[in-house]
Amino acid sequence: MTILKKMRSLLGRYGNQLQDRHVNIRSVFQGYKKILDDNNHALKIINDMSEKMSGGYLFDIAYIREAYSELATAMRDCLADFNRLTEGQYPQLEPVFNNIDSHIRELLNPQTKTARRRLISFDNILPESAKEVGGKNYHLSQVKNALGLAVPEGFVLTVHAYDDFIRYNHLDESITGLEDHEYDPGMLAEVRNRIMEGGFGSSLKSEVGEALGRLREECEGACHLAVRSSGEEEDEVFSFAGQFETVLNVFPDVDSVLDAYRRVIASLFSEEAIAYQLNLNYSPAGMRMAVGVIVMVDAVASGVVYTVNPMDKNQQSMLINSAWGLGTSVVDNLTEADTFIIRKKPPFETEEVRLGKKDTMMVMAAAGGLEKREVPADRQRLPSLNAEQLAELSRQALKIENFYHKPQDIEWALDRSGRVVILQSRHLRIQEPAGEDTTETVDAQPPGEHPVLMLDQGIVVYPGAVGGRAFIVDESAALADFPWGAILVARNDSPQFVRVMPYATAIITDSGNATSHMASVSREFRVPTVVNTGNATDVIKHGEDITLKADEDGGMVVYQGMDKEIIGRHHDSFIKLEELFEFRRKKYIMKFITPLNLVNPFTDEFVPERCRTIHDILRFIHEKSMQKLIDSSRFAGRQASLKRLDIPLLEDIHVIDIGGGLKPGTDKMVSMGQVKSAPLRAVIAGMAYPGAWRQNVGNVSLSDLMTASMRTGDIMGSVQVNLAVISRRYLNLAVRFGYHFTIVDAFVDTNPLNNHIYFRFLGGAAAVTKRVRRVHMLEIILRHFGFVTEINGDLITGVVTNVSEAEALRILDQVGRLMAYTRQLDAPLTSEAVADEYARRFINGDYTM
Amino acid sequence: MSHRIMIIDDEKIVGDMAKISLEEEGYEVETFLNAAPALKKLEEEPFDVVVTDLKMKNIDGLEVLRKVKKLHPSTKVIMITAFANLDVAIEAIKEDVFDFFPKPVRIKELKESIRKALIPDDQTKP
């Protein structure tokens, strides 16, 4: 980045435009506060909905409609205020909201259907089409579109195609009548027959014809298709494995495909499939079926991966079954297969191999369908996968599991070129090891004898009784290393945790509150979560096993060790609820409301177009409003009446009070006693902290000085540098200390959701290596205090949000110390290790150099 | 013998969720989407507690309450409704409703109410 660019970046993206305009900081500030209120109102409704739909309440559709309508109104207000504040800078945001809104309304009022697509190719399946294409197809499209793994080409005949087919053949009444006749076998057979004889409208036929044409082009002649079911609910919670028909090796012409389609649809009404659904409390006649039409892989070998080896108590390995030819030999147990147990982390070493006698294999028959073939004797005992293929397959399988955050049952094939192709992935349901298993754990303490680490502290966000290894997230333990199934322990709650939430067993934080972004996602993912405990990071040790029991009525206990007695007791009824079709269907709308995809404001992903949920939109609005406030404060100096701070350390600083920041009647020179702004007072207290501020600034070389004046000169020329814009609860402080330029922006009130601290530092007066070390040191320190940071060369930016008033003021005090400390920092940073050491000292309150 | 609870609500999810939660407490639970078959069932055999929605298509909750009281005076009736208004509540209390909840109903509270409803009357009176 050039120096000029960096300056611009330091000034904020819109710095240049703002300079020439009249900025009324007071009105921006009022606008900002309005948005905080809007945001909080919307989040409160979302939290209420999540809570009511979390399983602890009996609710009905009327409740959801009413709550959503309130939320939509709150969102419209919020968008209007945001638009006003940012002067229409983000016109894309409203259409994004409208889109989400129409999806939700369609789910709430099914009769107001919008675009019904009967045929969608796998490339074009978006999250909102999940219901139309069915669970199995949707998962496969995600493996392709979101994970970039190889899957077969193909398209889906959606549930709308199904509806049309049923209507076209006047089958609606016969099907709805089935329930009243208790699924009489004779009536079922008649429905199946009429489906097999059913016709298709000409438009659907031509759509299928076009799609097949495209497939034929892509597979260059030899195109064999598989036509398979993907019920609305298939692979969602229950696998429906083997319940519906799959037709293999279908020729790629319209008649053959539609014939296979009829067979698949008819299988929805087989006696077995109906019994299966009734057993699970579905109403079968209401289920609609999507059908996938995919190109078959002419497989050398194929089989199944379980990403969790069911035999492995510690869940550290995966299980791969493999045989020659098409996968049906493994799935349907037609031949012995090879079994490989693979260690579940790179480089995926093979722990165990059991080679089966693979005497037969299935291949595609020339006349359609499959045929069984003898495997040549010399190949029967050969491993069907080599080490490299095993590692590649394992890598892909783990990638899929990480994406879904649940163990997976994956069907795969190895094509003629040796490429792994994923055919299907669904959740693997593993039985918990039976009771006798617990008796084997000799080291486990007897129940009730685990030492209590914490008792009735904090706020229970989501209840549960769970155990796991504690993972303390701080500057030294990065979130990226968070292990599957661990308990996340942290100082603050953070929207960053969303990344690991689906596979976190529980979350415990020192600060935080029940309505934060993180809390609402905790409820969404049903992760037992307790916030605001005060001292979890002190009491719990990184890496130790703990048990958390958090009750619905707010009580909580943390035990040292794993208390299996406690852990086993709780989750049964939740699992049963999750298995209710109606429950999931109603909860489905929350997918468009609560998940948080926009996590890190420093990435390119942080744009309106990436907002997929209402929560994302709120997060975007909050972040950009804060930026607007910071930018506006930077240019507030010109027209406001300036006063000067008459305070040691900060004597050269102008101040603008935009509301309650100074005692009334303060004249031109402001003394410390006259400052009422809580954040400014905290920063000054930090700067003046004994030891943090030193008089004898280290040696700076002449060349360092030259660079420094070049770098900061431009900023000085164009804007008011030493300036504090304050209110009772707000501070924007821009100062130059020595050769460093720092901005602190903070809003601190009693509602943690409103609070933020923003910190930017651009240093000068040092050689490049020293500047890099300095930024490295600052990053360690900022992360320790809960900042999310971004580094751009030697410019570092950090933001912390959602902290309590007390915590925010504590952090600001530390920020003050840091500003004082960094004045003199460049000279002594002789190596990276020294930088680490200074960071450590600073965190421990030791400011010696 | 475990206590028998009947749930009547025209939305399937309410009955399903209540059934799961109450079976967890060891009750025997039957759910109905319509009041008519529920009342027919009540004519055949008694239940200890009937939890009914107020607003339903054909027969409303108040009518269910009256019928139940006529058939089995000792059966307790708990009413749940999205349309909580004072008039209906008063009317229901006159008809000797045991408890009255606006939806969404906290399951924990419903369980507590059922627990109290199952305490025999002679033990609750001084």
Chain A hits for B11, Cβ within 8 Å: 60-61, 582
Give me the phi and psi of A837, to 5 degrees please.
Answer: -65, -45
**Predicted pLDDT of residue A650:** 65
* Cβ atoms A81, A35 nearer than 8 A: yes
Based on the fold, state whether residues A278 and A157 are members of the same structural domain.
yes
The answer to whether the CB atoms of B11 and A61 lie below 8 A apart is yes
Per the listing, tokens 């319209």 go with A254
Nearest CA in chain B to A49: B104
**Predicted pLDDT of residue A14:** 40
Q: What is the pLDDT averaged over residues B46-75? A: 88
Closest by Cα among A621, A637, A627 to A23: A637
DSSP-derived 3-state class of residue A191:
helix
Based on the fold, state whether residues A739 and A774 are members of the same structural domain.
yes
Based on the fold, state whether residues A837 and A736 are members of the same structural domain.
yes
Chain B hits for A52, Cβ within 8 Å: 104
Closest by Cα among A788, A803, A784 to A682: A803
Structural domain ending residue among the three candidates A260, A295, A330: A295
Interface probe for B, chosen from A51, A58, A179, A552 (most Cβ of B below 10 Å), is A58
Helix (H) or strand (E) holding A657: strand A654-657
Strands A643-645 and A669-670: what pairing?
parallel
Buried b (16+ CB within 10 A) or exposed e, B76-101: bbbbbbbeeeeebbeebeeeebbbbb
**Predicted pLDDT of residue A618:** 93
The answer to whether the CB atoms of B13 and A52 lie below 8 A apart is no
Distance from CA of B122 to the nearest CA of A (A): 31
- Residue A577, in any domain of the structure: no
Give A681-699 pLDDT, tens digit per residue: 999 899 888 887 765 544 4
Q: Rg of chain A over CA atoms, in angstroms?
A: 31
**Predicted pLDDT of residue A127:** 67
Based on the fold, state whether residues A371 and A464 are members of the same structural domain.
no
- Residue A169, in any domain of the structure: yes
Angle at CA of residue A164, ends A162 and A166, nearest 5°: 70
The answer to whether the CB atoms of B104 and A59 lie below 8 A apart is yes
Strand order in the sheet with A246-250: A119-121, A154-157, A289-295, A225-231, A246-250
Task: Report the greatest alpha carbon distance in chain A.
Answer: 100
The answer to whether the CB atoms of A577 and B105 lie below 8 A apart is no
Based on the fold, state whether residues A701 and A839 are members of the same structural domain.
yes
Tokens representing B75 are 């059966």
The second-level CATH assignment, the architecture, of B4-118 is 3-Layer(aba) Sandwich (3.40)
Residue A301 CA to residue A384 CA, distance in Å, equals 6
Residue A318 CA to residue A327 CA, distance in Å, equals 18
Which among A552, A572, A582 has CB closest to B13?
Answer: A582
The amino acid that residue A340 corresponds to is F
Q: Which CATH number characterizes residue A227's domain?
A: 3.30.1490.20
Chain A hits for B103, Cβ within 8 Å: 58-60, 62-63
**Predicted pLDDT of residue A719:** 39
Distance from CA of B17 to the nearest CA of A (A): 7
Distance from CA of A157 to the nearest CA of B (A): 29
The answer to whether the CB atoms of A62 and B82 lie below 8 A apart is yes
Strands B99-102 and B76-81: what pairing?
parallel
Nearest CA in chain A to B53: A60
- B103 contacts chain A (CB < 8 A): yes
Residue A815 CA to residue A821 CA, distance in Å, equals 10
Based on the fold, state whether residues A200 and A335 are members of the same structural domain.
no
Which among A52, A58, A281 has CB closest to B14?
Answer: A58
The answer to whether the CB atoms of B17 and A58 lie below 8 A apart is yes
- Residue A745, in any domain of the structure: yes
Nearest CA in chain B to A581: B13
Based on the fold, state whether residues A363 and A504 are members of the same structural domain.
no
Residue A228 CA to residue A256 CA, distance in Å, equals 13
Based on the fold, state whether residues A702 and A788 are members of the same structural domain.
yes
Based on the fold, state whether residues A262 and A366 are members of the same structural domain.
no
The answer to whether the CB atoms of B13 and A60 lie below 8 A apart is yes
Nearest CA in chain B to A57: B106
Based on the fold, state whether residues A285 and A336 are members of the same structural domain.
no
**Predicted pLDDT of residue A705:** 40
Task: Tell me the three-class secondary structure of A791-821, residue by residue.
Answer: EECCEEEEEEECCCHHHHHHHHHHHHHHHHH
Residue A246 CA to residue A293 CA, distance in Å, equals 10
Query: How many inter-chain contacts (A to B, CB under 8 Å) are there?
Result: 59
Distance from CA of A582 to the nearest CA of B (A): 5
The answer to whether the CB atoms of A60 and B11 lie below 8 A apart is yes
- Provide CB contacts within 8 A for A584, sequence distance 6+: A236, A237, A578
- B20 contacts chain A (CB < 8 A): yes
Residue A537 CA to residue A493 CA, distance in Å, equals 12
Residue B66 CA to residue B96 CA, distance in Å, equals 9
Give A544-576 pLDDT, tens digit per residue: 999 999 887 778 999 998 887 777 555 555 556
Distance from CA of A56 to the nearest CA of B (A): 6
- Residue A31, in any domain of the structure: yes
| Chain B, window 57-86: residues with a beta carbon less than 8 angstroms from a chain A beta carbon | 80, 82
The answer to whether the CB atoms of A62 and B106 lie below 8 A apart is no
A110: exposed, middle or buried (C-beta count within 10 Å: 0-12, 13-18, 19+)? Answer: exposed
Residue B61 CA to residue A522 CA, distance in Å, equals 37
Tokens representing A272 are 């077995």
Chain A hits for B20, Cβ within 8 Å: 573, 576-577, 580
Assign residue A59 a region: left if phi > 0, alpha if psi is -120 to 50, beta otherwise?
beta
Q: Which domain holds residue A200?
A: 153-295
Residue A124 CA to residue A155 CA, distance in Å, equals 9
- Provide CB contacts within 8 A for A327, sequence distance 6+: A299, A302, A303, A304, A411, A412, A413, A423
Interface probe for A, chosen from B7, B9, B17 (most Cβ of A below 10 Å), is B17
The answer to whether the CB atoms of A63 and B80 lie below 8 A apart is no
Based on the fold, state whether residues A728 and A760 are members of the same structural domain.
yes
Based on the fold, state whether residues A317 and A417 are members of the same structural domain.
yes
Q: How many domains does one find in chain A?
A: 5
**Predicted pLDDT of residue B12:** 83
A734 bridge partner residues: A723, A743
The helix-helix angle for A185-196 and A271-279 (nearest 10°) equals 120
**Predicted pLDDT of residue B124:** 52
- B107 contacts chain A (CB < 8 A): yes
- B36 contacts chain A (CB < 8 A): no
Structural domain ending residue among the three candidates A248, A267, A295: A295
Residue B95 CA to residue A406 CA, distance in Å, equals 51
The answer to whether the CB atoms of B104 and A583 lie below 8 A apart is no
Q: ipTM of the assembly?
A: 0.89
The answer to whether the CB atoms of A572 and B18 lie below 8 A apart is no
Strands A545-550 and A370-374: what pairing?
unpaired
Compute CA distances A1 → A9, A38, A788, B13, whole Å: 10, 38, 22, 58
* Cβ atoms A299, A165 nearer than 8 A: no
Residue A618 CA to residue A166 CA, distance in Å, equals 42
Closest by Cα among A537, A545, A563, A562 to A457: A537
The answer to whether the CB atoms of A58 and B105 lie below 8 A apart is yes
- Residue A379, in any domain of the structure: yes
- Residue A441, in any domain of the structure: no
The answer to whether the CB atoms of B16 and A60 lie below 8 A apart is no
Residue A608 CA to residue A92 CA, distance in Å, equals 6
Residue A581 CA to residue A579 CA, distance in Å, equals 6
Structural domain ending residue among the three candidates A295, A328, A355: A295
- Report domain extents, chain B: 4-118
Tokens representing A564 are 């299996």
Give the A-side interface with B, CB within 8 Å.
52, 55-63, 281, 552-553, 572-573, 576-577, 580, 582-583, 586
* Cβ atoms A308, A324 nearer than 8 A: no
Chain B hits for A573, Cβ within 8 Å: 20-21, 24
DSSP-derived 3-state class of residue A217:
helix
Chain B hits for A576, Cβ within 8 Å: 20
Chain B hits for A63, Cβ within 8 Å: 82, 103-104
The answer to whether the CB atoms of A60 and B14 lie below 8 A apart is yes
Give me the phi and psi of A171, to 5 degrees please.
Answer: -95, -5
Compute mean pLDDT per 10 residues along chain A, 849 residues long, and list them: 48 43 76 88 87 84 89 94 93 93 83 70 78 86 83 93 92 84 86 93 90 84 85 58 79 94 91 76 75 92 88 82 83 78 88 88 85 89 93 92 80 92 83 39 52 88 88 75 86 77 85 74 80 90 91 85 71 61 75 83 85 92 88 67 74 81 84 91 89 59 42 38 85 78 90 90 70 86 88 84 90 92 72 87 85
Give me the phi and psi of A447, to 5 degrees please.
Answer: -55, 145
